[in-house]
Structure 1
Amino acid sequence: MNVLLTIVLAVQMLSALGMIGLILLQHGKGADMGAAFGSGASGSLFGATGSANFLSRTTAILAAVFFACTLVLAYFSHSVKPVSTGSVLERAAPAAPAASASGPNPANQIPGGGTPVPAQQGPATTPATTAPVVPASGAAQIPTK
């Protein structure tokens, strides 16, 4: 399968380079006016009709080959199963265990987090009914002024 993809990719690249060369060799629309007044087109390699017919047909054939190779490569890219599944976030390292009460203060790890936070106002609760404080994630960790 890998050899086939390499061959198709090589054919696509060669057809693209061939199209570029043939398109650059073709005359513009204004070049036909000069040929009408005897600009020497009759002495060309492709005869009195000029190279426009040959170059345009060859360009069309190379364009069809390029398009077919593109479709084959697109088909193969969607038929191959991805090596890994899941997102990058699912493969992230597991979170560090929570620090103990006597351990370092997580607020000191945040830039500007060493400043004391005013106490919350409200009814006093007993330590047994207080829910554990979980540090906020994302934008909530950004210190405000």
Structure 2
Amino acid sequence: MHTVVLTIHVLLAIGVIGLVLIQQGKGADAGAAFGSGSSATVFGAGGSGSFLTRMTTALATLFFVTSLALAVIAANRGGESDSVVDRTAPATEQADPGAAGGSSDLPADEGTSGTGAAGGESESDGDLPPIEE
């Protein structure tokens, strides 16, 4: 549904832009007052102004309706989130600084005693060699 309304919205936007660019400015009416032959046009003696104005108004109204429809569809999407921040989970839980032994998230050095996994033993990080000082 979202894709259909969005496609119609884009087509209406292109239509409104095209109609606005086709219309003549207010200064172009001065030439018609001096006999430029506007009575022989396709749109009649009144010219194309009223037809193009009505079409622009109709397309602009439909454009606003599709804008509101897209806003309602986006608001009712529910649990889906397009935010990257909402999708990512915290990598690690932060340790409580007041926890036993004052442990931190950083690996312990081998040379220090009393810290680390169990009384001076350090946890190995897989295939990484120990750090030499």
Q: Does the pair score TM above 0.5?
A: yes
Q: TM-score, normalised by structure 2?
A: 0.65
Q: Which runs of structure 1 show a deviation greater than 6 angstroms over 4 or more consecutive aligned residues? A: none
RMSD of aligned Cα (Å): 2.7
1:100 is matched with which residue: 96, 108, 126?
A: 108
2:66 aligned with 1:69:
yes
> Any idea what the Cα deviations from partners look like across 1:34-63, whole Å, max 9, x if unmatched?
111111211111011000000000000000
In the alignment, what sits opposite 2:27?
Answer: 30
Deviation at 1:86, TM superposition (A): 9.2
List runs of 5+ in structure 1 lacking aligned partners: 105-145
List runs of 5+ in structure 2 lacking aligned partners: 94-103, 113-133
2:10 aligned with 1:13:
yes
- Match of 2:91, as an amino acid? A
**Aligned to 2:56, what secondary structure does the other structure show?**
helix
Aligned residues: 101
Q: Which has the higher contact order (CA 8 A, sep 6+)?
A: 1
Q: 1:89–1:98: structure 2 CA closer, same or farther, 3 Å change rule? A: farther
1:60 is matched with which residue: 49, 57, 60?
A: 57
- Match of 1:94, as an amino acid? T
Q: 1:17–1:86: structure 2 CA closer, same or farther, 3 Å change rule? A: closer
Q: Distance in 2 between matches of 1:63 and 1:100?
A: 67
Q: 1:102–1:38: structure 2 CA closer, same or farther, 3 Å change rule? A: same
- Match of 1:62, as an amino acid? L
In the alignment, what sits opposite 2:39?
Answer: 42
Percent identical across equivalent pairs?
A: 43
Q: Distance in 1 between matches of 2:80 and 2:13?
A: 30
Q: Distance in 1 between matches of 2:48 and 2:111?
A: 83
Q: Distance in 2 between matches of 1:6 and 1:89?
A: 23
- Match of 1:100, as an amino acid? A
Q: Distance in 1 between matches of 2:50 and 2:29?
A: 13
Deviation at 1:101, TM superposition (A): 3.9
Q: TM-score, normalised by structure 1?
A: 0.60
In the alignment, what sits opposite 1:78?
Answer: 75
